[in-house]
Amino acid sequence: MTNREKELLKIIKDDPLISQIELADKLNITRSSVGVHISNLIRKGYIKGKGYILNELPYCTVIGGANMDVQCFPKDILTYHDSNPGNVKLSLGGVGRNIAENMARLGLRTKLISVVGDDLYADAILKGSEEAGVEMDDSLILEKTNSSTYFSILNEKGDLEIAISAMDIYDNLDEEFIKKKDKIIENSRVIIVDTNIPKETIEYIVKRHKNTVFFIDTVSTAKSMKIKDILGYFHTIKPNKIEAEKLSGIIINNDSDLDRVADYFFEQGVKNVFISLGQDGVYYNNQKEKGKILGEEVEVVNATGAGDAFLAALVYGYLNEFSMEEMARIAQRASILTLKHEDTINPNINLKNILEEGE
């Protein structure tokens, strides 16, 4: 949407019965120009037609994984090649789904484009996500197919030791299916993509919608390689240190190396760079503002999901025009709130609690 169209839509929202002549006077443009802008807004789906009936409220869209997480927690020090007494917890997961739920809990209208099967896990994923405020209408449901499952074993400190992911179902999020969602994608304020979906699908999305703001979650070192050749299509990236090294080819040993890596990303076309440094904090840079937010000592209850909360808070900060430092701070606080809770998503995550975390 152009800036002029945004101005026009705001005026119409405040006064749906306003005439085109009045719109022209308010914007100091010709009536014929108003007509062109109105036609474009109708074509893009922001206005339903005559009478300036506005379409649905602005929204963001996440395209990525949705699955059931099976987490195993030992009661004592984890012992390999042996049976460990402990607890097993089932929870809704998937990087894309987790990001979407965190965004919804932060008050952002959020749609999720993902895929599930027709099993009991699918019912739980769809119902649980919708109850948390995530709109699931555009996700794909496949018959006679098992939903994606992520099985993880954590150690006595709550850190991941090993995991197995059964995620072949994501191959069905192919170009043919995503083409049907072009209008949803085009009308989104921001699109968040995770690299669980096929490389070809990611390439189609970003090249098809070049004027859209894309955030990327790299998910893992191996999966981050899917975007190495298309980095420039992403407005904001948030790799961890290892992923940043793999994507840039630059080893990070100090702050100067972080700047070099950021410069590499800028040369590709990226606008905002956030690099997670684990316990050492987070580095941020957008060529105008750069710095590092130092890490904090946290008693980790569950390390799964902290990165998803981080990215969701980045999106919130971007949409509310926060500075880079402010975005990095609220993202870090959101991840800390998640680390302190036993669930993958802290049900108490909201802006108020995030801000209080930093006090």
Strands 140-141 and 134-135: unpaired
161 lies in some domain: no
34 lies in some domain: yes
Instruction: For the sheet with 148-154, list strands across it.
Output: 86-93, 67-74, 148-154, 160-166
Q: Which two tokens stand for residue 17?
A: 């019965």
CA distances in angstroms from 36 to 12, 24, 86, 212, 340, listed in the order given:
15, 12, 65, 21, 52
Tell me, yes or no, whether 210 and 350 share the same domain: yes
pLDDT bucket at 358, cuts 50 / 70 / 90:
low
Percentage, residues of the chain above pLDDT 70 = 97
288 lies in some domain: yes
Mean pLDDT along residues 95-124: 96
Tell me, yes or no, whether 15 and 110 share the same domain: no
- Evaluate whether 70 touches 325 at the Cβ level (below 8 Å): no
Tell me, yes or no, whether 28 and 111 share the same domain: no
Pick the more confident residue, 71 or 215.
215
- What local confidence, expressed as pLDDT, does residue 81 receive? 95
| Other beta carbons within 10 Å of 55 | 15
Structural domain of 40: 3-44
Give the H/E segment covering residue 335: helix 324-339
Most confident of 119-123, 150-154, 263-267: 263-267
317 lies in some domain: yes
- What local confidence, expressed as pLDDT, does residue 10 receive? 83
Tell me, yes or no, whether 176 and 289 share the same domain: yes
Give the H/E segment covering residue 257: helix 255-268
Structural domains in the chain (count): 2
86 lies in some domain: no
The CATH number of the domain where 257 resides is what?
Answer: 3.40.1190.20
CA distances in angstroms from 111 to 100, 139, 295, 315, listed in the order given:
7, 9, 32, 14
- What local confidence, expressed as pLDDT, does residue 47 receive? 73
Tell me, yes or no, whether 119 and 23 share the same domain: no
Per residue in 39-58, pLDDT tens? 778 777 777 665 565 555 78
Tell me, yes or no, whether 8 and 137 share the same domain: no
pLDDT bucket at 354, cuts 50 / 70 / 90:
confident
Tell me, yes or no, whether 260 and 338 share the same domain: yes
pLDDT bucket at 302, cuts 50 / 70 / 90:
confident
Q: Counting Cβ atoms within 10 Å, is residue 297 exposed (0-12), middle (13-18) or buried (19+)?
A: exposed
Under 8 Å CB-to-CB from 97, ≥6 apart: which residues? 62, 64, 65, 66, 67, 112, 114, 125, 129, 134
In angstroms and rounded to an integer, the radius of gyration of the C-alpha atoms of the chain is 22
Helix 3-14 to helix 20-27 angle, to the nearest 10 degrees?
130
16 lies in some domain: yes
The answer to whether residue 359 scores a pLDDT higher than 60 is no
117 lies in some domain: yes
Pick the more confident residue, 25 or 172.
172
Residue 323 to residue 274: CA distance in whole angstroms? 13
The CATH number of the domain where 34 resides is what?
Answer: 1.10.10
27 lies in some domain: yes
The answer to whether residue 150 scores a pLDDT higher than 90 is no
The answer to whether residue 299 scores a pLDDT higher than 90 is no
